[in-house]
Every structure is written in C-alpha cells, then in structure tokens.
Amino acid sequence: MTLLRGKTVVVTGAGHGLGRAYAFACAAAGARVVVNDVDAEAAAAVAAEVGGVAEPGSVGDWSVAERLVATACRRYHGIHGLIANAGVTRLAAPWDLGEADLRRIAEVNVLGTQFCATHAMRAMVRQGAGGSIVTVVSGARFGIPGMSAYGASKGAVAAMTAGWALDGAPHGIRVNAVSPLALTDMAAVDARPDRPVLGPPEDVAPVVVALLSDATRGVTGRIVRYDGSELSVYGPEGPRRLGAARDAGTIAALLR
C-alpha cells in the first residue's frame, strides 16, 4: 500500500499502544515517520523498526512540540501529516483527583495536542501545500464514571478539531478526529461489563492512514469512530454508520 508515499508524518505517543500501531501503519503505507513518546527507549525502538527518526519528550512541553515539527522539516524537508495521539488518564472519582492529576491530563491531552497542531499548521501554512492533522478523541467526552477529567480533555480536543478545520481550510489543511475502539492499556482502565469486545490497536490503524492520505482530500472537520470493522461519523445527533471497512482504501471511499 502506498497511500502515503512521499509524505512525512509526525506521530505522538507512538512508543506503545495505538500510537505505535499508527506509526507502523503509516510507514507501511510509504510515509517517513517522526516517532515521539515520553518513553525515549520505546520511541527509539519504534523508529528503528519503521525506518524513521525518534524525538522523545512530553508534548505538554511547547519546545518539544516545536522540535518534533522542526525535525520533520529539517530531516525530510517538510511535514505533511500529524497524528496527535499522545494522551494520559487516571480512573478516579473527581473528589479523588489531585492538582497534579488534573494538570497532567490537561497538559498532555489538551495543551499537548494544541502545541503540536499549532507548530504543524504553522509549518504547513509556510510550505503552502496543505496537509492533514488527525487528533484523537474518545467516547468519554459523553460521560464515563471515573473519567470526568479525561472526558473533558477529549471534549476540548473535539472542539479544537472543529475550529482548526475551519481555520485550515483556506490553506488546504484538513483536520479530523478519530475515536478509536481498540484494546489498549488505557482502554483497559474502563472495564465496564457492557463494553464490546475490542481488537488490537493494529485493527484500527487504517483509519488514520485514510485520513492522512490524498484519498480523503476534501474530508475535514469529521469525528470518525472505528473499531477495525465498522466505520461511523459523529454528528449532532450522534454516530451515523457508514459501513463495514477493514482497509484504508475502503475507509477513504466511505468517508468521501
């Protein structure tokens, strides 16, 4: 698959879980990948496997976010895509959360996403060739017990995604969000008995490849839900099923 051939993509939180799967999927689709994670060893390992470059650090640090984009531009002569995946949570009642917990969730999930997207969009505007940004949201924004702070942070990301899509449109910059359903360490925190059976992160990675590719040119401002087989988009009335899909090409066709 060569949907991303010739493109450079920055993936945050790519040392483990969904981010790791996204990095591998992008590389398999032909992209050059800048791998970020707060775990430097994990970032280096993934970068070595996908043939990319590692840039460790917390995206909640403005200078780290700036460096990620600068590395893409310096090493690969530009940036075409960003997957703002890095995120943290803590399962706890609101009265059991401390200042440090709340700050960490806000700094990584909200500011980290905003910092990375800001630097990526600046570079894309300067390059004058457009680009694609994919953020990551969650059903927790609608309310899950013990995840109010995390849900609030993902609600903020959804709002930023909608605004950025409008801001970026005149410059050819597309901004969409994914709401993935996969079995990860973070998903395991939410152990509700009514949760559907989830597949591995690799099952949902094709959705980000589709959104980063030119096959979804014109698709922007969407929140896309994907579980590895069923694709839906969120509107004011809730999720709307688009159909079954297991590969990036089919996903792109359904989104168009």
Catalytically active residues are 150
* Alpha helices, DSSP H, located in the chain: 17-28, 40-50, 62-76, 99-105, 112-127, 148-168, 185-189, 201-204, 206-212, 248-255
How far apart CA 162 and CA 251 sit, in angstroms, is 21
Q: How far apart are CA 70 and CA 145, in angstroms?
A: 39
Q: CA-CA distance, 96 to 94, in Å (whole number)? A: 5
- 8 Å CB contact between 242 and 205: no
